[in-house]
Amino acid sequence: MILVTGGLGMIGAHTARALLDLGQEVVVTSHRQTDPPPFLDSSLDGSAVDGKVVVERLDVTDREAFLALGDRYDISDIVHLAGSIPSGDPVAYFRHDTAALFNALDAARTWGVRRFAVASSIGVYIGQDESPWHEGMSLPTADLPHLIVAFKKAVEPVTTHSLAGSGVRPIVLRIGSTWGPLMDPESIFSPIPPYVSAVLRGETPAPLPADAGGDWCYAPDMGRAIALLVSADTLNHTTYNVSSGKPFVYGEAAGQLAVEPGGETSPHLDITRLTEETGFTPSFTFPEAVADYITWRTTNAR
């Protein structure tokens, strides 16, 4: 059984769904939300059911409660995606998410799992001028735009050093710019959900620059890529870029979004390593993702 922390969040839920599609049994944790999205069948009574995912309410900063999961489930792999949003006090944020990471690492070592996948970020490459960004690049010292990116950059050596010699294989997931179903509809990290929100409210959103864009990955594709890495028979590396692997611009979905000239295209992730070792290619083009997301927003309460 594979444990996905933060498994009812955007990336976690889509990862759990993809793991189920690959024939895996899955237990997901969530601190507050226990109502799964409609694409995730679930068993809320703590018993695994064929084709369903078990949902466990868990505060990932509670070490004893975290380790107790191993008494109830035979967990073979961990995908650690749980994380919080900074709320003004950087020390409190770092303390919370570091405690969660340490508990997940303790669990991995205690249970002797096969693989421990952990979320890093495309943001670790900030300051690197060459594009596209690939895993062999050095990570420059740079001012980082957000506390989350700073934490993710620290997660990488903490994880690999913590698991050294343990027999647990780390998988560092340098996750690209992800958006889609279950994302905060007013998110500051992607303009698409707020744009659709404005349209659904009957407002006229500001046009998006047609030639602006960069890296992107639609959430169902992101979940499938992570699931393929966790489930692969063999892996040749520790660190993997996870995204669509090609740049996009908003003008590609001009028929669905109001666009105007202007803007700057950002760097994107090279996913050659991911594709060669898992066969992953994205299922959604950008226009297809926009159409799917609009349908989701108009037919789902979440």
Asked whether 212 and 249 are in contact (CB, 8 A), the reply is yes
pLDDT at 47: 44
| Strand, coil or helix: 118 | strand
Asked whether 60 and 67 are in contact (CB, 8 A), the reply is no
Q: What does the alpha-carbon distance between residue 20 and residue 70 come to, in Å, rounded to a whole number?
A: 20
What interhelical angle do 10-21 and 219-231 show, nearest 10?
A: 50
Statement: residue 51 has pLDDT above 80: no
Q: What does the alpha-carbon distance between residue 51 and residue 85 come to, in Å, rounded to a whole number?
A: 32
pLDDT at 53: 84
Mean pLDDT, residues 50-61: 85
pLDDT at 41: 61
Mean pLDDT, residues 7-17: 95
Mean pLDDT of the chain: 92
Q: What does the alpha-carbon distance between residue 269 and residue 230 come to, in Å, rounded to a whole number?
A: 20
Contacts of 169 (CB under 8 A, 6+ apart): 114, 115, 116, 163, 235, 238
| Strand, coil or helix: 29 | strand
Whole-prediction pTM value?
Answer: 0.94
CB-count exposure of residue 105 (10 Å: 0-12, 13-18, 19+): buried
**pLDDT tens, position by position, 121-155:** 999 999 999 989 999 999 988 888 889 999 999 99
**pLDDT tens, position by position, 238-276:** 999 999 999 889 999 999 999 998 877 889 999 999 999
pLDDT at 44: 43
Choice among 58-62, 112-116, 298-302 with the minimum mean pLDDT: 298-302
- What percent of the chain shows pLDDT beyond 90? 81
Reading phi first (left if > 0) and then psi (alpha if -120 to 50, else beta), residue 167 is in: left
pLDDT at 40: 82
Token output for 155? 């997660």
Torsion of CA 15, 16, 19, 23, to 10 degrees: -160
**pLDDT tens, position by position, 159-190:** 999 999 999 999 999 999 999 999 999 998 89
Q: What does the alpha-carbon distance between residue 45 and residue 89 come to, in Å, rounded to a whole number?
A: 37
Beta-carbon count within 10 A of 135 CB: 18
Q: What does the alpha-carbon distance between residue 272 and residue 116 come to, in Å, rounded to a whole number?
A: 21
Nearest one of 123, 49, 31 to 12, comparing CA atoms = 31
**pLDDT tens, position by position, 65-99:** 999 999 999 999 999 999 999 988 999 999 999 99
pLDDT at 252: 92
pLDDT at 43: 43
Q: What is each CA distance from 74 to 1, 3, 55, 114, 293, in whole angstroms?
A: 6, 10, 15, 12, 35
**pLDDT tens, position by position, 198-225:** 999 999 998 999 998 889 999 999 999 9
